[in-house]
Amino acid sequence: MKIILEIEGLKKYYGRPGNQTKALDGISFQAAEGEFLGIMGSSGSGKSTLLNCIATVIQPTGGKIRMQGADILALKGEKLAEYRGKKIGYLFQNFELLDHMTGRENILLPLSLHSVSGKESQSRLTRLAEYLEITDVLEKFPAQMSGGQKQRVAAARALIMNPGMILADEPTGALDSKNAKTLMEKLAGLNREENATILMVTHDSNAASYCKRILFIQDGVIFHELRRNLPDESQRDFYGRILNVMAQLGGGSANVL
Ligand SMILES: Nc1ncnc2c1ncn2[C@@H]1O[C@H](COP(=O)(O)OP(=O)(O)OP(=O)(O)O)[C@@H](O)[C@H]1O
Ligand SMILES: [Mg+2]
């Protein structure tokens, strides 16, 4: 098992001493290549903050983040751009597609930004589009796509560079249950068949049941971890265990487990 992501004592405090929000207050965990790791926790527990620290969108107050052995908090200039553009792929709740570009142009945008050339990417695009069932919307603009199609186009954009890790923040948050199920089946399939490493934040116990392991965070710390017992445990049974933890979370008690 090859460790791809190492987080050690990660802290993010917002505001000034005296009026501080400790969004992350000492988070440590590791993710291996090929993991499908979920992050769950109630609203305001620090999930997006965690993902945004890994994506280098925000600077943590303290702690370490290593991706494929590199200290990402020390990256600058070209190396930082390479990390953001090639090593990670980001999937947002609200798709974040560019309205004036077609599906195809949106998906290929990372390539032009990082001057990666053509042929291989074109065939990757064709395969991804087929797999994600978006071949027939590639020439459409986002306004002409359904929510589910938009999110699958966004998934293709996140995957086109073949990043080491996909970071997804509530990817099913804006989807109805049918489209959410389709997206989760596609992500799980990529994880299973292409060994894609995925770190996904979600509120949704259903979406989380596709993960192999889930970290529950509350008040900026990890307070519980669930691992699906593969290959024996059914997704349904895992879902049941997730609901149990979430029920206790809802009660606001972090020390009952
Ligand atoms: N830019 C900011 N300035 C000040 N406080 C912030 C900022 N961003 C987040 N916070 C606070 O940090 C805490 C964690 O926020 P975060 O967005 O990480 O939560 P979350 O778990 O993603 O919540 P949700 O499930 O609602 O998306 C919250 O208390 C939030 O109010
Ligand atoms: Mg959030």
- What is the whole-number distance in angstroms between the Cα of residue 94 and the centre of ligand 2? 12
- What is the whole-number distance in angstroms between the Cα of residue 122 and the centre of ligand 2? 33
User: Could you tell me which of 61, 63, 67, 95 has the C-alpha nearest to residue 80?
Assistant: 67
pTM: 0.94
- Ligand 1 lined by 202 (C-beta under 6 Å): no
Is there a contact between 153 and 145 (Cβ–Cβ < 8 Å)? Answer: yes
Is 116 a domain residue? no
CA distance 167 to 154: 12
* Residue 86 CA: distances (Å) to CA of 110, 116, 161, 249: 8, 10, 6, 36
- Ligand 1 lined by 47 (C-beta under 6 Å): yes
Q: What are phi and psi of 239, to 5 degrees?
A: -55, -45
User: Could you tell me which of 203, 198, 223 has the C-alpha nearest to residue 213?
Assistant: 198
The mean pLDDT of the chain is 93
Is 82 a domain residue? yes
Contacts of 111 (CB under 8 A, 6+ apart): 117, 118, 121, 160, 161
Name the residue at shortest CA distance from atom 17 of ligand 1. 48
- What is the whole-number distance in angstroms between the Cα of residue 11 and the centre of ligand 2? 16
CA distance 172 to 86: 23
Check residues 245 and 113 and name the one with the higher pLDDT.
Answer: 245
Tens of pLDDT, residues 43-99 = 999 999 999 999 999 999 999 999 999 999 999 999 999 999 999 999 999 999 999
**For the chain, how many structural domains are there in total?**
1
Is 108 a domain residue? no
Q: Give the mean model confidence (pLDDT) for residues 92-119.
A: 88
Is 149 a domain residue? no
CA distance 139 to 129: 12
- Ligand 1 lined by 252 (C-beta under 6 Å): no
Name the burial class of residue 236, with classes exposed (0-12), middle (13-18) and buried (19+) by CB atoms within 10 angstroms of its CB. exposed
- Ligand 1 lined by 14 (C-beta under 6 Å): yes
- What is the whole-number distance in angstroms between the Cα of residue 127 and the centre of ligand 2? 31
Q: How confident is the model at residue 195 (pLDDT cuts 50, 70, 90)?
A: very high
| HSE of 225, CA atoms in CB hemisphere, 13 A | 12
Is 180 a domain residue? yes
Is 107 a domain residue? no
- Single-letter amino acid, residue 76: K
Residue range(s) defining the domain that contains residue 237: 3-96+165-256
Is 53 a domain residue? yes
Task: Residue 35: give its domain's CATH number.
Answer: 3.40.50.300
Name the residue at shortest CA distance from atom 31 of ligand 1. 44
Q: Find residue 199's DSSP bridge partners.
A: 37, 167
Is 196 a domain residue? yes
- Ligand 1 lined by 234 (C-beta under 6 Å): no
**pLDDT of 255 higher than 80:** no
Which pLDDT belongs to residue 176?
A: 95
